[in-house]
Amino acid sequence: MRTSDRMNDAIVIYEKSVSGRKGYTLPDTNKSEEKILSAIPSRFLRSEAASLPEVTEGEAMRHFISLSTKNHHIDKGFYPLGSCTMKYNPKLNDVAASFAGFLECHPLAPHKSTSGILRLLWNLKKYLAEISGFPSVSLQPVAGAHGEFSGLLIMHAYHLDKGSQRSKIIIPDSSHGTNPASVNSVGFKTVMVKSNDKGIISPKAVAEVMDDDVAGMMMTNPNTLGIFETNIKEIAEIVHEGGGLLYMDGANLNAHMGIFRPGDVGFDIMHFNLHKTLSTPHGGGGPGAGAIAVTAELDPFLPYPVLEKDAEGDLFYSYDRPKSIGRLHSFYGNFAMMVRAYAYIRTLGGEGLRRVSENAVLNANYLKELIREDYELPYDVPCMHEFVVSGMPQKKYGVRTLDISKRLLDFGVHPPTNYFPLIVPEAIMVEPTETESRETLDRFAEIMKQIAKEARETPDIVTSAPHDTPVRRLDEVGATRNLDVSFED
């Protein structure tokens, strides 16, 4: 790993540790340290003191603030990471999620004393049902991929319940990597269908692979090229006629809230990425929330416990679900994310959510038109909330998409998603989101144009980028394979 001097500054702070210096005071309890220690069972005590940096509160604060500004994040700069919906997350949602009544409530507190929390969850389910067009929602899955996993387990349970075992799931070649991974985790086999020259799936391609061993099909809409799948109704008919179920990966819901409802056109199951579409700070591995929605027919298979109303109209968690696929997470999922999603929906209302999507689509099309001249546009159609260009024109100068992305870091911009979807060579997938101003989009387009010019005229600047970041090119594979989060050598 190559590190610049500035990164070393951040590490060196630990060497400011001075024995006996501290950043806390304990209340005066009239108890000696020994007395406190003797109250803790010895199996929980270390024999030697942990070697921790000894610094004042001020030094610790500077250390973490300094690290936070070295890292790129949405509160610092533009973050057009395609498929991830890195929009601005209103701080109001964080405030709501940290209300003491939410934070301090034990998940096993009796239903009677948590009725406010249960009502929030009930209403959130109602809103998600309204947005998606499905009657039943489970809030339990804790990531988009976890929602996929749940949905596929539901497909499996549905077929078993009908007395059949099916082994295959159809997936487009443009699908997100989590789709085949989820298929594999549940024990199904993947059958790949190719997108056509318009970047979408044709009914014919599905009909060719549909047979009575296919449990279902997963589609993303709009797909990962940012293109709306216009053949869904025909595809749904083919899959249903063959006895299968149709799953929608709803991670791209930011494109069509209040405009298109998956439950209205033949999908049977979908997941939401609450942390993307309905605003929770995310990335870096979580936490997330991947609620799923299903048709009435699939309701009995939802994970338990399920929030229900008793005879008096009081809410409670029911475990009496004999056909359920079971529990997928401790307690009820990632509750704080649900509060944020709820606050977001309540703040914007139905009209507001529709405007979110309209502006997300407008911003993406505007930006696409600005940079298409310099970067190849493989599918020249109006896009939804994101679009994919290719870095192929730059490749002939020895500049690859990865280099372009690294160069963007010098301008304080997070790069778009690279090399995905796999069907576009040197793919650059851009999702500006609705929360960016026209000035930000114009500036990004200018930077992309400048990098295209550099690629033609001074390619070394691009291939040796980044020049101006705390760290330069990292061994990204090594960083994940040999993760080391200790401050000690």
Ligand X SMILES: *Cc1c(COP(=O)(O)O)cnc(C)c1O
- Work out whether the CA dihedral 257, 262, 263, 269 comes out positive or negative: negative
User: 329: how many CB neighbours lie within 10 A of its CB?
Assistant: 15
Shortest reach from residue 340's CB to ligand X, in Å: 14
Q: Does 306 bind ligand X (CB under 6 A)?
A: no
Shortest reach from residue 290's CB to ligand X, in Å: 6
Strand partners, 306: 318
Q: Does 278 bind ligand X (CB under 6 A)?
A: no
Residues 53-92, interacting with ligand X (CB under 6 A): 83-84
Judged by CB under 6 A, the number of residues near ligand X is: 15
Q: In the set 229, 249, 268, 431, which binds ligand X (CB under 6 A)? A: 249
Q: Does 222 bind ligand X (CB under 6 A)?
A: no
Q: In the set 138, 220, 221, 279, which binds ligand X (CB under 6 A)? A: 220
Q: In the set 143, 215, 235, 388, which binds ligand X (CB under 6 A)? A: 143
Instruction: Report the phi/psi class of residue 27: left, alpha or beta, with left for phi > 0 and alpha for psi in -120 to 50.
Output: beta
Q: In the set 141, 262, 290, 333, which binds ligand X (CB under 6 A)? A: 290
Q: Which stretch binds ligand X (CB under 6 A): 195-203, 231-239, 247-255, 316-324?
A: 247-255
Which CB sits closer to ligand X, 182 or 401?
Answer: 182
Shortest reach from residue 84's CB to ligand X, in Å: 6
- Work out whether the CA dihedral 352, 355, 361, 365 comes out positive or negative: negative
Q: Does 244 bind ligand X (CB under 6 A)?
A: no
Residues 396-425, interacting with ligand X (CB under 6 A): none
Shortest reach from residue 287's CB to ligand X, in Å: 10
d(CA 167, CA 236): 19
Q: Does 114 bind ligand X (CB under 6 A)?
A: no
d(CA 158, CA 146): 18
Q: Which stretch binds ligand X (CB under 6 A): 96-104, 108-116, 138-146, 298-306?
A: 138-146
Residue type at 336 in one-letter notation: A
Which CB sits closer to ligand X, 8 or 184?
Answer: 184
Which CB sits closer to ligand X, 363 or 463?
Answer: 363
d(CA 151, CA 330): 18
225: its two tokens: 């090229």
Q: Which stretch binds ligand X (CB under 6 A): 50-58, 86-94, 206-214, 246-254?
A: 246-254
Among candidates 290, 241, 296, 295, which has minimal Cα distance to 263?
295
Site string for ligand X, 177-196 (x = CB under 6 A): -x------------------
Instruction: Give the Å distances, CA to CA, from 467 to 150, 309, 401, 471.
Output: 44, 59, 17, 9
| Helix, strand, or coil (residue 351) | helix
Q: In the set 55, 96, 145, 294, which binds ligand X (CB under 6 A)? A: 145
Q: Does 280 bind ligand X (CB under 6 A)?
A: no
Which CB sits closer to ligand X, 221 or 401?
Answer: 221
Instruction: Give the Å distances, CA to CA, from 244 to 144, 169, 203, 241.
Output: 22, 9, 15, 7
Which CB sits closer to ligand X, 117 or 429?
Answer: 429
| Helix, strand, or coil (residue 159) | helix
Q: Does 199 bind ligand X (CB under 6 A)?
A: no
Q: What is the DSSP string of 12-80?
A: HGGGG--TT--S------S--HHHHHHTS-GGGS-SS--------HHHHHHHHHHHHHHS--TTTS---
d(CA 341, CA 276): 10
Q: Does 200 bind ligand X (CB under 6 A)?
A: no
Site string for ligand X, 330-369 (x = CB under 6 A): ----------------------------------------
Shortest reach from residue 324's CB to ligand X, in Å: 22
Helix, strand, coil abundance in the chain, percent, nearest 5 = 45, 10, 45
Residue nearest to ligand X (CB): 144
Q: Would you tell me which residues interact with ligand X (CB under 6 A)?
A: 83-84, 143-145, 176, 178, 220, 224, 249, 251-252, 273, 288, 290
